[in-house]
């Protein structure tokens, strides 16, 4: 017997999970390793994957000034699909990074390096999630289905990007914001330049928030040879983040003007509130940034859920004007 108190790692909890999350408190013990693989204990990633989907669906709806029942289903389906595909993507990421994660303090408690699941079990769980997501995608229409299939390429490449480029966040942005194109196509049945601008704005936004996130691991990353924009920018990070902020705002504004130019002036003005609100929230983050404080970086990274939802709110209002 021992009087040693159990640590979070001994209980299977992941170091950077939200404290007191529902997985650690409520999920059946047998499901917890798989839910942790899916990052269900760290929900902000699901939000960051989902929000561009909602942007695309709402922009397409605002363009015609109506929210159909089919669009409502697409919005709900995107939420379900984002949870599943983020889970599948994170599982794939953990499989490919298993030889790195046990060397990084923040990630060594993840299910594979900590021994909670085997690689084979993780791969099976990834396939199950992907198949359920595919069933949802099949209800979205031919163009959206095609875009969904194409999206698997950047998802597959992203975990390896940090091994060959200082800009892996670009690959994350390509994968994470694909939903802006997919959801727009699902609602409108076509693609125009408007959702492309939205998509590019999302990539710039991802560069902003994931550079902040990457500053948590820069010392460990340097030791094991993993590349990131945080390491690439170093002390110049604030200057680069300002650039990404401006690019995000300008590209999103361009997409909204393109889509809503034929709508009422009020709808266009409210729609343009989306990039304005994002810019203000990103400026707020910049004022609080300390790249040498990992806890602050994680806090600001998580705050980007609200950044994206603010833009979605303005687009939603514009639908009905």
Is 22 domain-assigned? no
How many CA atoms, within 13 angstroms, populate the side-chain half-sphere of residue 155? 22
Q: Please report whether residue 30 resides in a domain.
A: no
Res 235 pLDDT > 90: yes
Section 93-113 average pLDDT: 79
Q: How many CB atoms lie within 10 A of CB 167?
A: 17
Cβ pair 318, 264 in contact under 8 A: no
Is residue 175 situated within a structural domain? yes
User: Rounded to the nearest 5 degrees, what angle is found at the Cα of 308, between the Cα atoms of 21 and 151?
Assistant: 90
Residue 8 lies in a domain: no
What's the number of domains the chain is made of? 1
**How confident is residue 11, by pLDDT bands cut at 50, 70 and 90?**
low
Reported confidence tier of residue 107, pLDDT bands at 50, 70, 90 = confident
Q: What value does the mean pLDDT of the chain take?
A: 91
What are the angstrom distances between the C-alpha of 128 and each of 88, 91, 172? 8, 11, 22
DSSP summary character for residue 29? G
Tell me the pLDDT tens digit for each residue of 45-84. 999 999 999 999 999 999 999 999 999 999 999 999 999 9
Q: Radius of gyration (Cα) for the chain, nearest Å?
A: 20
> Does a structural domain hold residue 27?
no
In this predicted model, what pLDDT tens digit does every residue of 23-35 receive, in sequence order? 888 889 999 989 9
Proportion of the chain above pLDDT 90, given as a percent: 74
Torsion of CA 221, 223, 224, 227, to 10 degrees: 40
Question: Which CATH number goes with the domain that contains 252?
Answer: 1.10.357.140
pLDDT recorded at residue 102: 73
Enclosing H/E stretch for 34: helix 32-37
Whether 312 maps to a domain, the answer reads yes
The torsion of the CA quartet 148, 153, 155, 157, rounded to 10 degrees, works out to 180
Domain-embedded: residue 262? yes
Do the domain assignments include residue 307?
yes
What domain range is 249 assigned to?
A: 50-319
pLDDT band, residue 225 (cuts 50/70/90):
confident
Q: Give the tens place of pLDDT for each residue, 272-318.
A: 999 999 999 999 999 999 999 999 999 999 999 999 999 999 999 99
Q: Is the pLDDT of residue 6 over 90?
A: no
Full-prediction pTM beyond 0.95? no
Half-sphere exposure of 213 toward its Cβ, with a 13 Å CA cutoff?
18
- The confidence score (pLDDT) of residue 9 equals 44
């Amino acid at each position: 017997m021992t009087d040693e108190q159990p640590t979070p790692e001994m209980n299977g909890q992941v170091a950077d999970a939200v404290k007191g999350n529902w997985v650690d408190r409520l999920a059946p013990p047998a499901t917890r390793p798989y839910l942790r693989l899916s990052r269900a204990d760290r929900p902000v990633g699901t939000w960051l994957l989902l929000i561009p989907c909602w942007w695309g669906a709402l922009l397409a709806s605002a363009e015609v000034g109506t929210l159909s029942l089919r669009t409502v289903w697409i919005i709900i389906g995107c939420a379900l699909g984002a949870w599943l595909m983020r889970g599948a993507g994170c599982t794939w990421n953990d499989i490919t990074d298993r030889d790195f994660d046990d060397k990084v303090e923040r990630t060594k408690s993840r299910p594979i390096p900590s021994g909670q699941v085997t690689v084979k079990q993780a791969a099976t769980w990834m396939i199950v999630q992907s198949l359920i997501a595919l069933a949802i995608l099949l209800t979205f229409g031919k163009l959206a289905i095609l875009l969904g299939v194409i999206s698997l390429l950047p998802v597959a490449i992203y975990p390896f990007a940090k091994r060959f480029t200082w800009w892996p966040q670009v690959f994350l942005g390509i994968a994470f914001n694909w939903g802006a194109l997919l959801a727009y196509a699902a609602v409108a049945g076509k693609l125009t330049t408007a959702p492309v601008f939205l998509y590019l704005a999302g990539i710039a936004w991802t560069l902003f928030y994931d550079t902040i996130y990457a500053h948590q691991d820069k010392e460990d990353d340097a030791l094991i040879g993993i590349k990131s924009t945080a390491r690439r920018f170093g002390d110049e990070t604030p200057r680069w983040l300002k650039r990404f902020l401006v690019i995000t705002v300008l590209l999103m504004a361009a997409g909204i003007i393109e889509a809503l130019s034929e709508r009422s002036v009020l709808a266009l003005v409210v729609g343009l509130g989306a990039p304005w609100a994002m810019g203000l929230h990103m400026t707020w983050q910049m004022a609080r940034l300390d790249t040498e404080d990992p806890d602050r970086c994680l806090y600001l990274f998580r705050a980007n859920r609200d950044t994206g939802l603010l833009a979605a709110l303005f687009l939603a209002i514009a639908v009905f004007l």
